[in-house]
Amino acid sequence: MNFKGALPTLILESLAQGPSHGYAIAQSIKSRSKGILDFKEGTLYPALHKLETSGRVESYEGSENNRPRRYYRITKSGRGVLAKDRAEWRAISQAVTVILGEA
């Protein structure tokens, strides 16, 4: 499975639940996938920066346990992209299920 290509969508999905910082996003993806989607966390931030540059997420300075943290939140454009990606993924997933079911 090309998980790398799906990472931005998973990040957007995680941020659609509410603003969060990098570590929490990584943990959210891992826990919601029950550990199946176990990616290298160093690749999360380049994906986050790319989403930020394209205007799909925005970042702001916050703090957690009195420590500064960079938080990210999804933008309106990001929600639009997420809805489109979700629809595309469902279509692909259904098509693959049909094919594999036939085999």
Partner 1 sequence: MRPNMTALDTWLAKATRQLSADSAAQVRAEIAQHYESSREDALASGVAGDEADRAAIAALGDPKSANGQYREILLTRSEARLLRSSACEAKFFSATRLRKRLLFLIPAAAATCAAAAYGIATLTAPFVIPFTASASANATANLIARIAIVAAILTAVVFAVPLLPIYTPTRARIYRAAKWLTVIALSMILWDRAHFFEWSWLVLNCFSFVVWTEAKRMSLRRKIPAANWPKHLYL
39 φ, ψ (degrees, to nearest 5): -105, 165
The minimum distance between CB 83 and partner 1, in angstroms, equals 22
Q: How far is CA 90 from CA 11, 28, 81, 87, in A?
A: 17, 21, 14, 5
Binding site for partner 1 (CB under 8 A): 21-23, 26-27, 39-43, 45-47, 49-50, 53-55, 67-70
**Would you call 40 helix, strand, or coil by DSSP?**
coil
The minimum distance between CB 97 and partner 1, in angstroms, equals 31
The minimum distance between CB 38 and partner 1, in angstroms, equals 9
The residue among 8 and 13 lying less far from partner 1, judged by its C-beta, is 8
The residue among 1 and 100 lying less far from partner 1, judged by its C-beta, is 1
Q: Cα(first)–Cα(last) distance of the chain, in Å? A: 18
